[in-house]
Amino acid sequence: MLVDINGDPLTIKKLDSNQTEENSQVAMLLKQYAEHPTQGLTPAKLASLLKEAEEGNLAAMADLAKDIEDKDGHISCELGKRRRAILGFEWSIKPPRNASKDEQRDADMLADILDDATWFYDFLFDLTDAMLKGFSANELKWDYVEKQQIVTGYTYRDQNIFKTHPDDFNRIVLNDNTNEGEALNPFGWALHIHKSKSGYVHRTGLLSVLAWPFLFKNYSVRDLAEFLEIYGLPVRVGKYPSGASDAEKATLLRAVMAIGHNAGGIIPKGMEIDFQSAANGQADPFESMIRWCELTQSKVILGGTLTSQADGKTSTNALGNVHQEVKEDITLSDLHQLEQTISRDLLLPLYALNGKSYNGSSRRLPRFEFDTSTSDEMRDFAPPLKDLVSTGMQIPQSWVHERLNIPEAKDGEAVLALPTNTPQAALSTAIAALSTEHIDRDNQTALDEALNAITNGDMRDEYKATLQPLLNKLNQSSDLAAIELAELYPTLDQDALTELLTRLFFVSELWGTVNE
């Protein structure tokens, strides 16, 4: 028996059917043009739209979100950064813990299906539309291919064809003009509800927060445009004689309005146009208000401002790094929410219909995971791990592989290993020899071989001609070695000099330790 993620029984309808187009009421909504509620948007109108969303009408809020994305370049840019950040992460399908061979084979099967899906990255991007609008609904397309029921694509559905159930504000249904709406078909949808805030669906997205600074910014942009239109222009006052007719007054008015732009005009004799002082004022108040709105929008979307804009006063590199860390935390939260949706709405149907290990329960469901590890994390993780192992702590290799997202080698698979005929291997042997309390004949031989490897045998040819004279001079006198090094310095680049000094100091210390 098929069950959903919560274990409730499911009745699967025809997978090849299209629910939205089969329902004539919903299909009619698909053909309607979107409203544009930002035209003449006022605080009262915005409050009314928010109230309608609370009552279950999501269409007005969806149209408002689309208008905001189209009209506000700053919101569109910042939101695009956050949405596209998830596309750069690798992903994998992980089997359940202590997986059997069948469960591992099913996880590999699901990974192969998604690897072959050319639509998958577009699908990920469309899911992130929920960041602004609260939810993103994508209707899945199924087909029977090579004895498997697989998802062959999807169709993004606009939020204005949905509503919330009157008895459950967290349940999204199709708006078919009935009170309760039509429930979404099981296995037919990938419905991502993005929780940027806690609460019901209508307020989980960023729209209810961004709508207010968008409104205030619109007022300031409009006022700034009016200010720029009249700034620097003199005030024109037309004077007409008593007894002038309406036609003469209209002629004078047209001349007054046109003379500022055309720098010339004609008026009837006996009428006058006086030019008063030019309009005075500053654009700073309008720009300050616009800047405040955009800074607020950046904080809401990215958690900070220095990853997108800096004021040139308080912005520092350290503070910018802090803001970048906050942005990375937000990205991790977005990734984890997407993982849950993909595992529930995409992997579960594929696993239930095709998995050999599926037993009617979703408890052992393979899970979708993004690879969030970085090279910096691996670099910072390795030294402490080495210290812990050296103190005797028993750390399972499987835990390290999982933490660093490095797959474990299969039977007979080639693995990386340190070469045994390098100077590094010789140095390791020498250090091991020095760590003993007494240097016996065998250890002394190992030290000699290590020194020979450093100074002669395994040294790279390009350094042999340079390092050997230094060692010879060092055996004679440290002053002579310093003079030799000073003469060589102008001919060496920084990296070459660093490596040369490192080898020289180590050989000196090692030789001194052995012969003390």
| Residues 6 or more apart in contact with residue 405 via CB below 8 angstroms | 92, 371, 373
3-state secondary structure of 501: helix
Q: How far apart are CA 349 and CA 427, in angstroms?
A: 56
Half-sphere exposure of 259 (CA within 13 A, CB side): 19
Confidence (pLDDT) at 30: 72
| Vertex 480: Cα angle to 479 and 482 (nearest 5) | 65
**Tell me, what DSSP letter sits at residue 236?**
E
Which tokens hold the place of 351?
């696993």
* Ranges of the chain whose pLDDT falls below 70: 1-8, 10-11, 13-14, 16, 33, 226-236, 259-283, 306-323, 374-377, 416-516
Average confidence score pLDDT of the chain: 76
By CB atoms closer than 10 A (0-12, 13-18, 19+), residue 511 is middle
Comparing CA positions, the residue from 201, 121, 192 lying closest to residue 340 is: 192
Amino acid (one-letter) located at 144: Y
Confidence (pLDDT) at 437: 44
By CB atoms closer than 10 A (0-12, 13-18, 19+), residue 286 is buried
| Residues 6 or more apart in contact with residue 485 via CB below 8 angstroms | 470
Confidence (pLDDT) at 497: 63
Measured CA to CA in angstroms, residue 346 lies from 139, 154, 342 at distances of: 11, 11, 5
Q: Where do the domains of the chain lie?
A: 19-209+327-370, 232-280, 375-404, 423-514
Backbone φ/ψ region at 153: left (φ over 0), alpha (ψ -120 to 50), beta: left
Confidence (pLDDT) at 49: 87
The pTM is what?
0.66
DSSP state letters, 54-65: HTTB-HHHHHHH
DSSP state letters, 179-208: SS-BPPPTTSEEEEE--SSSSSHHHHSSHH
| Residues 6 or more apart in contact with residue 372 via CB below 8 angstroms | 89, 332, 335
